[in-house]
Chains A and B, each alone.
Chain A
Amino acid sequence: MSVVNYGTREITCKIVYYGPGRSGKTTNLQHIYSQLPEERKGKMVSLATETDRTLFFDFLPLDLGTISGFATRFQLYTVPGQVYYAATRKLVLQGVDGVVFVADSQSRQLAENIESLQDLHANLADEGLDPRTIPLAMQYNKRDLPASEISPIDELDETLNFRGVPYFAANAINGGGVFETLRSIASMVLARLSAPAAKES
């Protein structure tokens, strides 16, 4: 996906929230949606099963209006975290500009986090995207759970954040860390506008 189109004066950024099932990806988008000015709320597309798990994907289009002469649009997606939705994850990743990896801080979920991260790398590579350079932010979610149930941030970061990208502690269900994460990934994606490779449109 082109990030900037000079012909139509548009900036479009596709950001995908990735991570294992039940890590809080949909909760991130729901909090962002909840913070939008009431009179300007549109539709958040969310396809879920009867057990509230994301079946296909969530989609939240954010039209930020015209900024510096460019119509600016962010498209926020989540992927279904369950392993058997691999094909859907690959489809949602097509044309991605930036990824937020939402990790579940619970100690017993560490293996799932690692598996999902490996899945992300494999799918990015399949899409011809370099997992080592694509804008990425790590979010360690569910920090509101008792300390006895969650891994320390340092431990999670050591295990999952081999690139040393920005990371954020979050409790998305209460909104903590959600916008900090979004601001970080948006900034990283926008920073690529000045890179020669990102000028293609």
Chain B
Amino acid sequence: MAAKKSEEEDSGEFADFMADISQEIAQRVESLDAAPKAQPEPKKATPLPRDAGLILEWENLPDRMIEEMR
């Protein structure tokens, strides 16, 4: 329990950031989706995705980037 609480505290800033960004993206996507249809849809809150914060491991990324820059 203590470990879980500590983990939540550690990721607090990121969780707040995710919540804000999720809301921002939801609003933007809705506005873009609504434009071609010309019929506005009611805005709805988007819950934080379960995989929020996942960082993909991109193998050999530094090598690839350096190679591209040559």
Within A126-185, the residues touching B (CB, 8 Å) are: 175, 178-179, 182-183
Query: Which residues on A sit within 8 Å (CB–CB) of B58?
Result: 43, 61
B interface residues, tally (CB under 8 Å): 36
Q: A residues within 8 A CB of B18?
A: 64
Contact with A along B1-43 (1 / 0, CB 8 A): 0000001001111101110111011101111100000000000
How would residues 24 to 63 of chain A score, 1 for a CB under 8 Å from any chain B CB and 0 otherwise? 0000000010111110111101010000000010011111
A70 and B25 contact, CB distance less than 8 A: yes
| Nearest CB of chain A from residue B63's CB, rounded to whole Å | 10
Q: Which residues in B have their C-beta under 8 angstroms from that of A108?
A: none
Interface SS of A by simple majority: mixed
Task: Select A63's contact among B13, B17, B54, B61, beta carbons within 8 Å.
Answer: B54
- Measured as residues with beta carbon below 8 angstroms from the partner, the interface class of chain A is 35 or more
Residues of B within 8 A of A40 (CB): 53-55
Main secondary structure of the interface of B (DSSP, over half): helix
A8 within 8 A of partner (CB)? no
A124 on the B face (CB < 8 A): no
Q: C-beta contact mask, A100-136 vs B, less than 8 Å → 1, else 0?
A: 0000000000000000000000000000000000000
Task: Select A194's contact among B13, B32, B54, beta carbons within 8 Å.
Answer: B32
Q: Are B56 and A63 in contact (CB under 8 A)?
A: yes
**Which residues does chain A contribute within 8 Å of B31, judged by CB atoms?**
193-194
The answer to whether A70 touches B13 (Cβ under 8 A) is no
Q: Which B residues lie within 8 Å of A199 (CB)?
A: 32
The minimal Cβ–Cβ distance linking B47 to chain A, given in whole angstroms, is: 10
Among B43-62, those with CB < 8 Å from A are 46, 49-58, 61-62
Contact among B12, B26, B61 with A68 in the assembled complex (CB-CB below 8 Å): B26
Q: A35-B14, A37-B7 are in contact. Are A190 and B55 (CB under 8 A)?
A: no
